[in-house]
A and B are shown apart, each in its own frame.
Chain A
Amino acid sequence: MVGWGVVGQSFAQIIAQRKKELAKKYGFRPRIVAIVDKKGAAINPKGLDIEEMLTLKKDKGTVAASSKYGCPDMTALEAIESVEAEAIVEVTPTNIETAEPGLSYIKTAFKTGKHVVTTNKGPLALALPALTELADYNNVCLRFSGTVGAGTPILEFAKNCLKGDKIVSVRGILNGTTNYILTEMDEKHITFDKALKAAQNLGYAEAEPSMDVEGHDAAAKLVIMANWIMNKKVTIENVKIRGIRDVSAQDIADASEKGCTIKLIGSIEESLKVEPTQISKHDPLAVDGALNAVTFVSQSAGEQTIIGLGAGGVETASAVLRDLLDIKQTIANSMIK
């Protein structure tokens, strides 16, 4: 585990609580052999005790404080290189400018033959075509379903449920924070600034909200979908992005008169775009609050819309587990034919 924040801890709790069930139902007995946080690492090749690690983080601020297994000076890169493991779960915060340090963590894991599950959108938004190529070359898997829709299986739906069909275009609301703000503006007839404040007070928006309101988060998710679902070799530089800062109360009122509303829509057609778009209130994408919604248009099966919560530690942790189960199955299949 690289990163021991909300997602990492939630994931560890899930596998601890559901230990028996996972073993029985999926033949999956995961052991966390190393955890790295900002202040160091804890390593035990036999598997770390999750309760102890959670307590250490709460009481002492780092897992490196473990008397038996702590390595206070060890960096994440050293741990990834030196620890023997099948897979790395990389859950460090997103950096949309340089993708670091997550990008180096993922590359190092590949070079040392480790599969990677990540929830970090930065490396994927900036370098997904390169990372896919590097994973293939090193014969390992890269999975990231927690990055789009968190617990809502948007990527799996498109990839597995629409197998054989050709997805021709994708449109969707990919960011819960901005959708909450736009919904508030529409329902309460308030300005962007007021709605942003309300979202911040409720913890939906961060103190520094630009990643969400400028549309970068939605654009990153769009890039991930374009690569994974539609095989387009694109990065965030290929997305035309406009955020919601300049959407006025008047714009929304005007739309409302026509039975419409304004949503931050990301779309993949010929090109990739994220921009505030007027849609009918009856459009299946017109979801309220912090929900996400994505419509897939496929050649034979027509239109499907999938709706669900797009964020949250536990939801994202469940996606990490899903990805690990998928990797386990892939490895097992390749070993015994």
Chain B
Amino acid sequence: MKKIVMKFGGSSVANGEKIRHVANLITDNRTEDCGIVTTVSALEGVTNQLIQIAKEAKNGKRDFISKFTNELLERHLTVAKVAIKNKQTREETEQVLKERIGELEIILKGIGYVNELSPKSMDNVIAYGEKLSAPIISGALNDKGVKSTHLTGGEVGIVTDNNYGEAGLLMQVTKYQVRRRLEPLLKEGHSPVVTGFIAATQNGETTTLGRGGSDYTATILGASLEADEVWIWTDVDGLMTADPKIVSSAKTITEMSFQEATELTIFGAKAMHPRALEPARKEGIPVRIRSVFNPDNQGTLITKEKKVRHEDGVKAVTLVKNVAVITVSGAGMVGAPGTAAKVFEVLGKENINILMISQSVSESNISLVIQRNLLERAVNTLEIALLGRDFIREVVSEDDVCVVAVLGAGMKGMPGVASRIFSAVAKESINVRMIAQGSSELNVSFVVKEKNGANTVRAIHKEFKLNEK
């Protein structure tokens, strides 16, 4: 039996009509020989509301809680009314929604009375986003005559450590449990709906998966079931050769490797968090990213194989905005081991993530790219910690810059790619401020002035004829 795991995000299940559309997409692809497991996010906006109300409850504002839960119930009942036509099915779903919102109200009031919001309590609260959406999608499937049950991440067997808020997965235990839970359901012709984003510890306490969220749940389920494919339904046609807002002729990339996809998602394509790709990559389960608005398009298929064709050298070009460059320089840095370590250590302690690094062999300066909103803090920290010592003369920053990243596994071992990239940029009279290429040769990143960012992307897109692929 073929098995496909599908994931629908919050915007795909924002209202009743959209949920009916989702139910159609599931039933259209479901056959006797193809079982489908679905995982869903909370209705659009609900998770943020839950975080907000939990924080308010902690500050002792208990009066709002009942009002909030009433509104939350109203919204879900309205959605269910549109999504589920059959009266009996709808009433069953409504019953579940009422019970769960009742629980949520008690938890929120508890937080309000003790004025305490531990990461564990927070996970308990935000889990309700998915615990309320999953029954509605499951109900919509039942409404269409497809047998469906809804399960929480814990019920389906996803087990994590107790690092609440960003729990670490126990993949082998999860795999054992998920198979035993879901395979019999699929054999009986069920189409289960699993809450995305949430899991449980070995003792059954609710946790959340943090970064990667429901996408992560989808690949965990896919890897556990050794599914044929995992489909991430989103609002774009897949991963693109460039941001279509910058390059109007940008194309969907039909196929790419996990390695390339990881590079691409790190560099701004917001389709999927790299962490969410891990379970699928390890088990070699193909992941397809496709659009709910355009189900005829097959989207982007991410697979294990690196099908490198040389003319494919470059696959995509992306622009990372809102960054800044810091350059630390001083003759004392030359031949002084440990200088770079001191710079990184100081920034690391301040929780400042470094996106890109370059140092010339002369060692007299190091340039770093960081997020722009952290620039002042970074400069201050570096100056306080390092200026006035022998090896550093000055710390200079630029905040009107952006990073352009050129990606593709085919670039590896292919001479002339860098030359073509920089010639294309030079033809536009654009100055390159800083360059980095890892020895993986999967990507070349460089910094240009922000006002030149879009032109740079267009020039490279054109040079490598990405619109023709």
Contacts and interface: CB of A to CB of B under 8 A. Distances in A.
A113 B203 CA distance: 13
A111 interface: yes
Given A111-B202, A111-B203, A134-B202, A127 B176 contact: yes
B173 interface: yes
Given A111-B202, A111-B203, A137 B175 contact: no
A130 B172 CA distance: 4
Interface string A212-240: 00000000000000000000010100000
A129 B175 contact: yes
Nearest to A127: B176
Contacts of A111: 202-203
B161 interface: yes
Interface in A86-140: 107, 111, 126-127, 129-130, 132-134, 137-138
Contacts, number: 29
Contacts of A107: 202
Interface string B150-187: 00000000000100000000111101110000000000
Contacts of B161: 137
Contacts of B176: 126-127, 129-130, 235
A233 B172 contact: yes
Main secondary structure of the interface of A (DSSP, over half): helix
A138 B161 CA distance: 10
Contacts of A126: 176
Contacts of B202: 107, 111, 134, 137-138
B170 A134 contact: yes
Interface in B172-217: 172-173, 175-177, 202-203
B203 A130 contact: no
Nearest to B282: A233
A160 to B, nearest CB: 24
Contacts of B203: 111
B282 to A, nearest CB: 10
Interface in A163-212: none
Contacts of A235: 176
Nearest to B202: A111
Nearest to A233: B172
| Residue from B171, B172, B177, B202 with most neighbouring chain A CB atoms (10 Å) | B172
A2 B176 CA distance: 24
B209 to A, nearest CB: 16
Interface in B192-245: 202-203
Contact of B175 (A130, A132, A134, A138): A130
A270 to B, nearest CB: 15
Nearest to B203: A111
Nearest to A235: B176
A130 to B, nearest CB: 4
Contacts of A127: 176
Nearest to B170: A133
Contacts of A138: 202
Contacts of B175: 129-130
Contacts of A137: 161, 170, 202
Nearest to B171: A133
B319 to A, nearest CB: 40
A107 B203 CA distance: 11
B248 to A, nearest CB: 47
A112 to B, nearest CB: 10
A129 B177 CA distance: 12
Contacts of B171: 133
A137 B173 CA distance: 11
A22 B176 CA distance: 39
Contacts of B173: 130, 133-134
Nearest to B168: A137
A134 B159 CA distance: 10
A127 B170 CA distance: 13
Nearest to A133: B172
A260 to B, nearest CB: 38
A137 B168 CA distance: 11
B153 to A, nearest CB: 17
B181 to A, nearest CB: 13
Interface string B381-422: 000000000000000000000000000000000000000000
Interface in B18-53: none
Nearest to A237: B179
A138 B202 CA distance: 10
Q: What are the 9 tightest A-B residue pairs by CB atom distance, in nearest-first order? A: A130-B176, A129-B172, A133-B172, A130-B173, A130-B172, A127-B176, A134-B173, A133-B170, A133-B173
Interface of A: 107, 111, 126-127, 129-130, 132-134, 137-138, 233, 235
13 contacts: A111-B202, A126-B176, A129-B172, A129-B175, A129-B176, A130-B175, A130-B177, A132-B172, A133-B170, A133-B173, A134-B172, A134-B202, A137-B202
Interface of B: 161, 170-173, 175-177, 202-203
Given A107-B202, A129-B176, A130-B170, 13 more contacts: A111-B202, A126-B176, A127-B176, A129-B172, A129-B175, A130-B172, A130-B175, A130-B177, A132-B172, A133-B170, A134-B170, A137-B202, A233-B172
